């Protein structure tokens, strides 16, 4: 006679299987040879206790991951690559703590790790995300030992000195860490432009030509292939609205109106940027996915992108409605320009 498992034993088995990454309720029920309804109830209990989180839900398909699973968006990462990534991050935390008094910031940890991977050609996934290049893995630095006990590590053939030398180059100030990465790598130009846009508007640096130039230069960096076609079109429409707003009577009537309008423009831009960099992330991550998990990754991506696209449409529509209420600013034309226009008009009349 088979021994009946306790509810606690079943929950522990569920958590053990989820160490491998995200799994559907059906997959877990197959692994535990239990029915879908029973496993679903246990997952709901684990979710209420904060042990797992639901990362995708559609009709009867639910996908769960452990709350401590150290991969962005809870995506399934190759086991060896996950362990190598965790080894590098934990080693950086260890060496940082040995050399510095204060704890390492999450941004600094990621930027050091990216440089070590790049400079030593390590087989660890690096992806573009909202604030530049990062590892696909992450954790709170103070939880380093806790995470590696659960997920284990795979040692890399890299000396402590390489990591220590890289640590010496970093400030532990988040905005400086990001800025240095953007400026030191030519392939980070679009991040550099985005950072300048956000900074200029947030400090009320109302230099319209400068901001328009930044928006335009960033537009030139957006990929034009099918994957990015929706965002390319939406950003083009956004730029047209911003150009019109900047040249309206109302925008130029008072600093207060300018500041309020710039906040709306920045809010819309941020939604576009979040969607664009999420596309970057999934494009970079795809090469690290095992075939068996591709469907789950696609589900998660579609869910995230759909949310961002809805935000973009709402905010862009609000901006376009505001644009309709504006009047173009009268452009002052000099005497020389007037004479040229008169000559052109005369020529047109003769034709």
Domain limits, the chain: 7-69, 73-184, 186-324
Residue 205 is predicted with a pLDDT of 62
- Would you give the DSSP letter of residue 98? H
Residue 124 neighbours by CB under 8 Å, 6+ apart:
81, 84, 85, 88, 113, 117, 135
Residue 312 is predicted with a pLDDT of 97
Name the one residue in this structure whose structure tokens are 């998990």.
Answer: 293
Contact yes or no for 71/77 (Cβ under 8 A): yes
Closest CA to 123 of 158, 165, 169, 94: 158
Alpha carbons 238 and 320: distance in angstroms, whole number: 8
Alpha carbons 6 and 114: distance in angstroms, whole number: 44
This prediction has a pTM of 0.87
Locate 12 and state its tokens.
């522990």
Reported in sequence order, the residue ranges of the chain that DSSP labels E, i.e. its strands, are: 23-24, 52-58, 61-66, 126-129, 132-135
Name the one residue in this structure whose structure tokens are 């095992």.
Answer: 290
Strand partners, 65: 53
**Could you give the 3-state DSSP secondary structure of residue 131?**
coil
- Residues listed for the chain: 351
Residue 351 is predicted with a pLDDT of 47
Helices (H), 4-105: 7-18, 25-31, 36-48, 79-99
Contact yes or no for 315/268 (Cβ under 8 A): yes
CATH among 3.40.50.1000, 3.40.50.1370, 1.10.10.10, 3.40.50.720 for 7-69: 1.10.10.10
Question: Distances in Å between the alpha carbon of 333 and those of 336, 338, 347, 348?
Answer: 8, 6, 20, 20
Locate 108 and state its tokens.
């600094």
List the end-to-end C-alpha distance of the chain, in Å, as a whole number.
Answer: 102
Residue 41 is predicted with a pLDDT of 95
Strand partners, 129: 132
Per-residue pLDDT of the chain (351 residues; tens, 9 = 90+): 457 889 999 999 999 999 989 999 999 999 999 999 999 999 999 999 999 999 988 877 889 999 999 999 999 998 999 999 999 999 999 999 998 878 999 999 999 999 999 999 999 999 999 999 999 999 999 999 999 999 999 999 999 999 999 999 999 999 999 999 999 999 999 999 999 999 988 876 668 889 999 999 999 999 999 999 999 999 999 999 999 998 888 787 777 777 788 888 999 999 999 999 999 999 999 988 877 788 888 888 998 999 999 999 999 999 999 888 887 765 555 566 566 656 666 654 554
Contact yes or no for 29/75 (Cβ under 8 A): no
Contact yes or no for 151/83 (Cβ under 8 A): yes
Contact yes or no for 153/311 (Cβ under 8 A): no
Residue 294 is predicted with a pLDDT of 85
Residue 199 neighbours by CB under 8 Å, 6+ apart:
205
Residue 327 is predicted with a pLDDT of 78
Number of H helices, E strands in the chain: 14, 5
Residue 225 is predicted with a pLDDT of 94
């Amino acid at each position: 006679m088979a021994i009946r498992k306790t509810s606690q034993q079943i929950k522990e088995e569920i958590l053990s299987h989820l160490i491998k990454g995200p799994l559907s309720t059906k997959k877990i029920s197959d692994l535990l040879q239990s029915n879908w309804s029973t496993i679903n109830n246990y997952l709901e209990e684990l979710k209420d206790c904060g042990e797992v989180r639901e990362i995708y839900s559609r009709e009867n398909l639910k996908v769960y991951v452990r709350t401590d699973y150290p991969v962005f968006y809870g995506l399934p990462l190759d086991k060896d690559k996950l362990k190598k990534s965790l080894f590098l991050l934990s080693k950086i935390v260890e060496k940082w703590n040995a050399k510095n008094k204060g704890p390492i910031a999450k941004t600094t940890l990621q930027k050091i790790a990216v440089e070590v991977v790049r400079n030593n050609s390590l087989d660890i996934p690096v992806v573009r995300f909202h604030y530049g290049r990062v590892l696909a893995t992450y954790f709170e630095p103070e939880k380093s030992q806790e995470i590696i006990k659960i997920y284990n590590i795979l040692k890399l053939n890299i000396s402590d000195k390489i990591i220590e030398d890289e640590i010496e180059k970093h400030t532990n100030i988040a905005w400086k860490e990001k800025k240095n990465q953007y400026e030191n790598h030519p392939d980070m130009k679009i991040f550099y432009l985005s950072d300048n846009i956000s900074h200029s508007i947030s400090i009320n640096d109302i230099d319209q030509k400068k901001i328009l130039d930044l928006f335009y230069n960033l537009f030139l960096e957006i990929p034009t292939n099918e994957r990015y076609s929706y965002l390319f079109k939406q950003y083009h429409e956004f730029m047209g609205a911003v150009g019109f707003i900047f040249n309206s009577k109302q925008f130029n009537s008072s600093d207060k109106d300018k500041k309020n309008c710039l906040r709306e423009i920045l809010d819309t831009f941020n939604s576009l940027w979040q969607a664009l960099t999420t596309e970057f992330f999934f494009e970079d991550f795809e090469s690290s996915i095992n075939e068996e998990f591709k469907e789950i990754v696609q589900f998660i991506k579609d869910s995230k992108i759909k949310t961002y696209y809805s935000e973009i449409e709402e905010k862009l529509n609000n901006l376009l409605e505001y644009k309709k209420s504006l009047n173009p600013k009268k452009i002052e034309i000099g005497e020389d320009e007037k004479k040229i226009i008169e000559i052109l008009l005369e020529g047109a009349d003769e034709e």
